[in-house]
Amino acid sequence: MNQLEFIPLDQPYVGESAPGITQATRTRPTLLCLSHLRWGFVYQRPQQLMSRLGRDYDVVFFEEPVFDDVMGPGLRLESVAEGVCVLVPVLPPGLDEAQLIDAQRRLIDAWLALGDVGELLLWYWTPMSLPFTEHLQAQVVVYDCMDELSAFRFAPPAMLAMEQRLLQRADLVFTGGHSLWEAKRQHHANVHAMPSSVDISHFGQARQPLPDPPDQAEIPHPRLGFFGVIDERFDIQLVAELAVRRPDWHIVLIGPVVKIDEASLPRLANIHYLGSRPYEALPAYLAGWDVALMPFAHNESTRYISPTKTPEYLAGGCPVVSTAVRDVVKGYGNSGVVSIADTPEAFIEAVQDALNLRFQSGEIARRADKALDGMSWDKTCGAMRELIECQR
């Protein structure tokens, strides 16, 4: 995959169908996915779902624009998986909001006009894509509300009003967890809770001895690990307290730092920031941890989250200590392998209990398998696909 192409839309395109559409199976529906997250950022729910839906639809993953005053307006095309291509608008810098909306609308219209895209389905990850796609005629409109984006730092002021417009237009609404489902079902008649799932075979590799990645190999044990985005949802103070009170414990943090000042992160000898790592490498890191952490803060941005990493940690055979995220408590609080704690004192006690559990041979795996029984991205995606087909 990863075939890069740039399409300047002021020149004619020579081809039988729009780029990104499978010419041999042009009768397949085209699923135009409007995303606020980039495909190459962190491999999570969008990538898990779209890579599977690409088996049945021509998935076109339309990202937010990048700005370049040399290449000129156009679309950067990249094939990233079987049946999935990414389209990135390339626009000149300095455009105001109205110009950005107009430019993206014209790019999408021009792309659709390049050839036969077949039946069109729309999938929204963000309501902010609505202004430049609202005119499109689609057989099915899906809104996958994976997070309460309006509660995130730097959310556009118009987010809530735009979501109301999208809810009025959507035929089908999915939510990333049960808390979001409870909130959104008040505003739409066809809302389905589709919590993020897990690729058990991928993360299950961590249950076997794996070579320790070089940047982790010299870090002493016990190791407490976290992978994911480090942003306003991350409880910086709790992590700092944990590191100060237990200098013999080493905290491994993997993931990009976004929307917060890196200078605000605690810098202690037993906190190790390894940066972003590819999805393929995560099991090797997880295999070297003694306990997995989910130190989420309690604020508006975490009120409705349903972290994907909970089942990923468990699939890897690692006990988990989490703050009291509502969906984590409801889904895993009685599993015996996910401990809930909010204060530094309770968190330290829970980590110690998890470390002690490590000495009970096979008990962690047994409890984790029970908690994960029946979960898979294939099952989640299949249920979504069935609901989409009912709308066609």
Which tokens go with 266?
């605690």
**Segments in 65-199 forming alpha helices (H):** 97-113, 159-169, 178-184
What residue ranges do the domains of the chain occupy? 3-197+377-391, 200-371
Give me the percent of the chain exceeding a pLDDT of 90.
Answer: 78
Confidence at residue 25, expressed as pLDDT on a 0 to 100 scale: 46
Q: Which of 9-18, 84-93, 157-166 has the lowest mean pLDDT?
A: 9-18
**CB-based burial, 166-187: b 16+ in 10 Å, e otherwise:** bbebbbbbbbbbbbbbebbeee
Q: Is the dihedral of CA 196, 308, 215, 361 positive or negative?
A: negative
Would you say residue 12 has pLDDT above 50? no
Q: What is the mean pLDDT of residues 247-267?
A: 95
Q: Is the pLDDT of residue 3 over 60?
A: no
Tell me how far apart the alpha carbons of residues 392 and 387 are, in angstroms, rounded to a whole number: 9
Q: Mean pLDDT over residues 311-322, rounded? A: 96
pLDDT of residue 88: 94
Indicate whether 69 pLDDT > 90.
Answer: no
pTM for this model (two decimals): 0.89
The number of helix segments (H) and strand segments (E) in the chain equals: 13, 16
Tokens 């939510």 — which residue?
Answer: 175
Give strand pairing partners of 252.
225, 272
Average pLDDT value over all residues in the chain = 91
Does position 1 have pLDDT exceeding 60, yes or no? no
Average pLDDT over residues 226-250: 95
In angstroms, the CA 88 to CA 117 distance is 18
Where is pLDDT greater, at 389 or 152? 389
User: Is the confidence at residue 13, as pLDDT, over 50?
Assistant: no
CATH number of 200-371: 3.40.50.2000
CATH topology classification for 3-197+377-391 = Rossmann fold (3.40.50)
Q: How far apart are CA 289 and CA 373, in angstroms?
A: 23
